[in-house]
Amino acid sequence: MSLATQTRPLTRREWLLSDRPQSRLQARLGRAYMTWRRFSANRLAVVGLLILLGLCIVAAFADLLAPHSPVIGNLAGARLLPPGSEGYLLGTDDQGRDILSRLIYGSRLTLAVVVLVAIIAAPVGLVVGAAAGYAGGWIDAVLMRITDIFLAFPKLVLALAFVAALGPGIENAVIAIAITSWPPYARIARAETLTLRNSDYIAAVRLMGASPTRIVLRHVMPMCMSSLIVRVTLDMAGIILTAAGLGFLGLGAQPPLPEWGAMIASGRRFILDQWWVATMPGIAILVVSLGFNLLGDGLRDALDPRESGQ
């Protein structure tokens, strides 16, 4: 590199896209920037991201955004009002509660469920898969057999049975969903680990005397992250739908919690005359899981162009 180019100040973009990064930070930021450019070129993916940002904001500021209480309604004067009524944008339910406010507060429950399931199931899958892939031999065989057994189960029905035994409630729903959703993560982590295990750079780390635990924790697992994140994002929609399904069957969040699936269940009785009670929460579920699906698709294309079928 000549002195002249070094003295001229680089624009921020040039600094990011430099093919000779001066620091680890610059390299990392540069890679993130490239990924972002590929991601943001996909308009639908950006829509997905915006939906989810909106969900987070709504959940964070529910207290400020909601015009009414989510649990205490106006039984006397505001039962089953249609959308667009004075002060009740999306109408009210059979207990005179504002549906919009319930949806706004319900976003917290939805967010909590997906986040909890993700932080329980993904690490379990990651550890199982990385351990199986790195250890190989009979450990691998046994762990993967267990994974495959869980993979062959009917997830929803098994989650139902778990909740039936544990008792209804949102915590138990989270546990049941997490128990049934870790196996795919283990498979992905194992596949990634297998390709990594024989790579030169892992061999180099091993030569430097790193212990297997350290290699797996510090070098193998981080490399599995990107494909795992994509998969978890794509699974989020399914998790939301399962949680809503449990709520619909009365096994998830219990009344008066404004859980969207349970709201549909309670609106079911009035579907013929007061259609909005059951319709509004369904739209909320649809929009949010669509957001996750769009984001997941976009992430997959941006992080792993191989898999996108392009």
Partner 1 sequence: MSMSDTVRMSGRRRARSRKAVATVLQFLVVVATTYLGLLAVTFFIGRVIPIDPALAVLGDRAPQHLVERTREAMGLNLPLYQQFLLYCRQALSGDFGVSVLTTNPVMTDIRRVFPATIELATLGTLIGALIGVPLGVLAAVKRGSIADQIVRVIGLVGYSVPIFWLALLALLVFYARLKWVAYPGRIDVVYEYTFSPITGLYLVDALWQRQWDVLRDVFRHIILPASLLGYFSLAYISRMTRSFMLNELQQEYIVAARAKGLSEARIIWGHALRNAAVPLVTVIALSYASLLEGSVLTETVFAWPGLGLYITNSLQNADMNAVLGGTIIIGSVFIGINLLSDLLYRTLDPRTRAR
Helices (H), 167-220: 170-181, 183-197, 200-207, 212-214
Strand partners, 85: 88
**Residue 88 three-state SS:** strand
**Residue 92 three-state SS:** strand
CB of 228 to partner 1, least distance (A): 20
CB of 123 to partner 1, least distance (A): 21
- CB-nearer residue toward partner 1: 254 or 293: 293
The number of beta carbons lying within 10 Å of the beta carbon of residue 138 is: 8
- CB-nearer residue toward partner 1: 146 or 229: 146
The number of beta carbons lying within 10 Å of the beta carbon of residue 229 is: 16
Residues that bind partner 1 (CB under 8 A): 145-146, 148-150, 152-158, 160-162, 164-166, 237, 241, 244-245, 248-251, 261, 264, 268, 271-272, 275, 278-279, 281-282, 285-286, 289-290, 292-294, 297, 309
- CA dist 223 and 228 (Å) reads 9
Closest CA to 198 of 182, 215, 222, 178: 215
- CA dist 282 and 174 (Å) reads 20
CB of 272 to partner 1, least distance (A): 5
- CA dist 193 and 180 (Å) reads 22
Cα maximum dimension of the chain? 81
CB of 265 to partner 1, least distance (A): 8
CB of 292 to partner 1, least distance (A): 8
- CB-nearer residue toward partner 1: 4 or 272: 272
- CB-nearer residue toward partner 1: 93 or 134: 93
Half-sphere exposure of 275 (CA within 13 A, CB side): 2
CB of 92 to partner 1, least distance (A): 19
Residue 83: Cβ-neighbour burial (10 angstroms; 0-12, 13-18, 19+): middle
CB of 280 to partner 1, least distance (A): 10
- CB-nearer residue toward partner 1: 71 or 166: 166
CA angle 292, 82, 101 (to 5 degrees): 45
* Length, in residues, of the chain: 310
- CB-nearer residue toward partner 1: 16 or 284: 284
- CB-nearer residue toward partner 1: 215 or 251: 251
CB of 275 to partner 1, least distance (A): 6
- CB-nearer residue toward partner 1: 10 or 149: 149
**Residue 249 three-state SS:** coil
